């Protein structure tokens, strides 16, 4: 039995797909999400959050196979974490934080359906591993001590940022600025090689995110359909970053499920079938 045959979806179910910028206007987006919830009668809200947090083993496996990815993940967190905090008050994508607040205020359950990219790194082709390790070996050959210092530094800063986010400390935003942007600025005095290495790792991380996007979208669609299988829900919503909107629409279309796409909810938004 295939996956599509194993799920039972109500014929008049509509899945609302909301695609928004991770750095959108928090207050406006919250208002737009609340309007959608009330007008569409959203029964469950699915979010682009990992179903399972990566374990130390997951990060270790990713680091062994593609160390530049893991270092780039840290650099990315240090860059974007403070931006999220300035926008939403916490180091989480703006649209995700807005959904959690709006849904909680109206008693609507939220369900994470994403997969953390780190858990998908081991499935990448050998070509990725070869290029990643080539860049790492060349960097270490040029400046082994500096590369070691930068690697340790970004891992420590990112660990602190993640602790701040999980504990939701009172001064998360200024502390995120200190260990995020401040941590990146601290790399500058080390010279050109560490800066170039950090930039290269940042790019590799971005490329991996793009490479694994389709796998994540397929998994998100299947998790949503599995979760609502057999229920009598008439409308549910999945909110993701704007880049995932088209891919997810194609996934649901392949299962014959009706979707409505929403964009720019913070600016009153547009909807399309």
pTM of the model: 0.92
Contact 20, 239 (CB under 8 A): yes
- Tens of pLDDT along the chain (273 residues)? 566 666 777 678 899 999 999 999 999 999 999 999 999 999 999 999 999 999 999 999 999 999 999 999 999 999 999 999 999 999 999 999 999 999 999 999 999 999 999 999 999 999 999 988 999 999 999 999 999 999 999 999 999 999 999 998 889 999 999 999 999 999 999 999 999 999 999 999 999 999 999 999 999 999 999 999 888 899 999 999 999 999 999 999 998 888 999 988 877 666 666
pLDDT of residue 258: 86
């Amino acid at each position: 039995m295939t996956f599509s045959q194993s799920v039972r979806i109500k014929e008049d179910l509509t899945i609302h797909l909301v695609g928004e910028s991770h750095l959108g206007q928090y207050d406006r987006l919250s208002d737009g999400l609340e309007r959608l919830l009330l007008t569409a009668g959203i029964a469950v809200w699915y979010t682009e959050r990992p179903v399972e947090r990566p374990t130390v083993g997951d990060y270790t496996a990713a680091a062994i196979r593609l160390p530049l990815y893991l270092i780039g993940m840290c650099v990315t967190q240090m860059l974007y974490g403070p931006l999220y905090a300035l926008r939403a008050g916490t180091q989480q994508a703006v649209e995700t934080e807005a959904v959690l607040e709006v849904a909680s205020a109206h008693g609507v359950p939220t369900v994470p359906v994403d997969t953390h990219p780190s858990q998908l790194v081991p499935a990448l082709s050998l070509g990725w591993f070869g290029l990643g390790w080539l860049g790492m070996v060349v960097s270490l050959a040029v400046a082994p001590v500096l590369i070691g210092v930068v690697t340790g530094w970004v891992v420590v800063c990112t660990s602190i940022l993640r602790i701040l986010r999980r504990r939701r400390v009172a001064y998360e935003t200024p502390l995120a600025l200190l260990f995020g942007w401040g941590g990146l600025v601290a790399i500058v005095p080390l010279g050109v090689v560490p800066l170039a290495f950090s930039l290269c790792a940042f790019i590799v991380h971005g490329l991996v995110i793009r490479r694994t996007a389709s796998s994540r979208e397929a998994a998100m669609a299947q998790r949503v359909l599995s979760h609502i299988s057999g229920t009598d829900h008439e409308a549910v919503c999945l909110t993701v970053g704007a880049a995932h909107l088209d891919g997810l629409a194609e996934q649901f279309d392949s299962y014959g499920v009706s979707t409505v796409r929403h964009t720019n909810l913070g600016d009153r938004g547009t909807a399309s079938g």
